[in-house]
């Protein structure tokens, strides 16, 4: 089980957070890399290793989450279900799905509304640009 990790201001580019991102991915290496990229750009990053963990982390955080960046396909609760559950708490929360599957597979995995998508593998600049687009 992963732990809640809020990145400190000393690890970010500025002392003011650009927003709180809940990063959900069952691949540890991907999760750590993306968390580091976003933290260095000024985002507060919370990490979760799966859907159930994401709900726990969000509940323990106790403050609004601006964006969930979630893997689409994970063991147990997938990204679409995570987003649905979290939007009950924060209806205005933005969502970006990331996957090695194509964007055309979103509906196959439970995404019913128009959604932002990030195809794996991606470059660091792709992640930063997509998160910035979602939060503006």
In this predicted model, what pLDDT tens digit does every residue of 14-65 receive, in sequence order?
Answer: 456 799 999 999 999 999 999 999 999 999 999 999 999 999 999 999 899 9
Tell me what pLDDT residue 16 has: 66
Which of 74, 73, 24, 88 has its CA nearest to residue 53?
Answer: 24
Structure-token pair, residue 34: 């993306």
The structural domain count of the chain equals 1
Is 0.85 topped by the overall pTM? no
CATH code of the domain covering residue 78: 3.40.50.2300
Q: In this structure, is residue 29 part of a structural domain?
A: yes
Tell me what pLDDT residue 112 has: 67
Highest mean pLDDT among 4-8, 100-104, 127-131: 127-131
Q: How confident is the model at residue 101 (pLDDT cuts 50, 70, 90)?
A: confident
Domain hosting residue 15, numbered range: 9-131
CA end-to-end span of the chain, whole Å? Answer: 32
């Amino acid at each position: 089980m992963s732990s809640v990790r809020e990145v400190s201001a000393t690890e970010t580019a500025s002392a003011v957070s650009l927003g709180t991102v809940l990063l959900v991915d069952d691949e540890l290496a991907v999760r750590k890399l993306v968390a580091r990229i976003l933290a260095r750009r000024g985002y507060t990053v919370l990490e979760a290793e799966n859907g159930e963990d994401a709900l726990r982390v969000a509940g323990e955080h106790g403050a609004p989450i601006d964006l969930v960046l979630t893997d689409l396909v994970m063991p147990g609760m997938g990204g679409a279900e995570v987003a649905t559950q979290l939007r009950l708490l924060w209806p205005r929360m933005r969502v970006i799905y990331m996957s090695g599957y194509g964007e055309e597979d979103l509906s196959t995995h439970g995404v019913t509304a128009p959604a932002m998508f990030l195809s794996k593998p991606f470059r660091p600049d792709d992640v930063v640009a997509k998160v910035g687009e979602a939060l503006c």
